[in-house]
Amino acid sequence: MITTEQLREEALAMRSQLVATRRDLHQHPELAFQEERTASIVARRLGELGYAVRTGVGQTGVVGLMEGKAAHPGCRVLLLRFDMDALPIHEQLDLPFRSVYEGRMHACGHDAHTAIGLGVAELLARHRDEWRGVVKFVFQPAEEIVSGALAMIEDGVLEDPRPDHTLALHMWAEEETGTIGVTDGPALAASGAYRIVVRGRGSHGASPHLGRDPIVAAAHIITALQTIVARNLNPLEQGVVTVGSVHSGTAPNIIPDSAELQGTIRAFSDDVMGLLRLRVQSVAAGVAGALGCEAHVSFSEKGTPATVNDPTIAALMRRVAAELVGAARVRSDYRTMGAEDCAFFLRAAPGAYVFVGAGNRDKGITEPHHSPRFQIDEDALPLGVALMTAGALRILNDECQNH
């Protein structure tokens, strides 16, 4: 079987190809459920490599299926997931491959993810004789609006064949290139959005005693919400309550009838998410009531569970990572309160979500994700390919032998 060192060398030899693909995608970013050009590139390349290709899965998603030549009944099916969509952000970097579209850019690394996915597909196809089982490449739309995974699942991506395990990765600008993070258990948080409508009674700004001011009530609610994590959550747990939007009023001398707040809650466990929901509701209602107003709280149905890594697969990926970058550069404790709809794939087919460092202080690549100046160190691209390919081969071959 091909060694991890050989895979590293083959991935390094692909660097110029990976960079060219990533830069082309970066120059032509497409928003959620609009990834037509990106999907066509992915579908064409998978077809050239010999994969059975389905397009239009979850609107603009692409699926590529291949069976290893050492396959036999009972072998594992591995889902490899890569997201494709960009963000509605205007790029502020003056690069030769900057976005050609106003107000659109790849500010989270999904261009790199797609390029890496195609690189992994090429290496697995090249070494098809050396693995058993089935690989199912899932190039997903609309991760940024946490809708693409469920759209693909509704279109049957988890069937024919049903995957046993999932692998996914994310370029991570907060960590230096050459660092890899794979955590047991929750790696990204569950998230949910809420809306609070505070209803009072409008009046003239000169006569506040004749009304019930929803803006004052909303301000007190915002302050009180900050006590939930500080005073209701076990200090050994983690949670976030954010107010991200406040809207009310039409003129400086009018006290309006209502005010609206919107925000998110995040946690690593379902129990904590439940607590946050209950406290947001009770705090909003109690504070508004004390100030003569009413608060109506609703939660969006669109949210994500925590992205949870299977400890066995996570340990396997750490071993592979250590072979590639050395054990000292492998982190087993990295978590973020960001959310990912890859969580739905991992719930259905346990596996691992891996962070691949893509920052570089010496090159000035230090901007956070979703910044209009976001960039990645392209030296991380071959490492991502080698890591995901080696991990896939270990899962397909080692897991099959133990099945």
Range name among 103-112, 240-249, 301-310, 351-360 with the lowest pLDDT average: 301-310
Kindly state the average pLDDT of the residues 352-364.
98
Residue 205 — φ and ψ, nearest 5°? Answer: -60, -20
CATH number, position 313: 3.40.630.10
- Do residues 235 and 101 share a domain? no
- Do residues 252 and 393 share a domain? no
pLDDT of residue 141: 98
Domain end residue (candidates: 299, 314, 336): 299
Kindly state the average pLDDT of the residues 8-12.
98
- Do residues 33 and 140 share a domain? yes
pLDDT of residue 72: 67
pLDDT of residue 303: 87
pLDDT at 99 over 50: yes
- Do residues 24 and 91 share a domain? yes
Neighbouring residues of 5: CB distance < 8 A, sequence distance ≥ 6 = 323
The model carries a pTM of 0.93
Confidence of residue 398 (pLDDT cuts 50, 70, 90): confident
Mean pLDDT, the chain, rounded, equals 96
% of the chain with per-residue pLDDT over 70: 98
- Do residues 385 and 375 share a domain? yes
pLDDT of residue 77: 96
Domain end residue (candidates: 280, 299, 318): 299
SS3 348: helix
- Do residues 198 and 325 share a domain? no
CATH number, position 276: 3.30.70.360
- Do residues 132 and 122 share a domain? yes
- Do residues 125 and 241 share a domain? no
- Do residues 122 and 194 share a domain? no
| Residue 67: both structure tokens together | 């069976």
Omega cis (within 30) before 88: no
% of the chain with per-residue pLDDT over 90: 96
Confidence of residue 128 (pLDDT cuts 50, 70, 90): very high
**Whole-number Cα distances in Å, 285 to 203, 277, 281, 288, 289:** 22, 12, 6, 5, 6
- Do residues 205 and 253 share a domain? yes
Confidence of residue 403 (pLDDT cuts 50, 70, 90): very low
Domain end residue (candidates: 299, 320, 340): 299
- Do residues 46 and 110 share a domain? yes
pLDDT at 236 over 60: yes
Number of domains, the chain: 2
Residue 234 — φ and ψ, nearest 5°? Answer: -55, 130
**21-68 tens-digit pLDDT:** 999 999 999 999 999 999 999 999 999 999 999 999 999 999 999 999
pLDDT of residue 401: 47
pLDDT of residue 154: 98
Are 305 and 270 in contact, with CB atoms under 8 Å apart?
yes
| Residue 277: both structure tokens together | 């929901």
Domain with 381 in it: 4-189+306-402
Residue 171: strand pairing partners: 356
Confidence of residue 352 (pLDDT cuts 50, 70, 90): very high
Range name among 73-77, 89-93, 380-384, 393-397 with the lowest pLDDT average: 73-77
- Do residues 280 and 197 share a domain? yes
Kindly state the average pLDDT of the residues 377-397.
97
CA angle 24, 157, 113 (to 5 degrees): 25
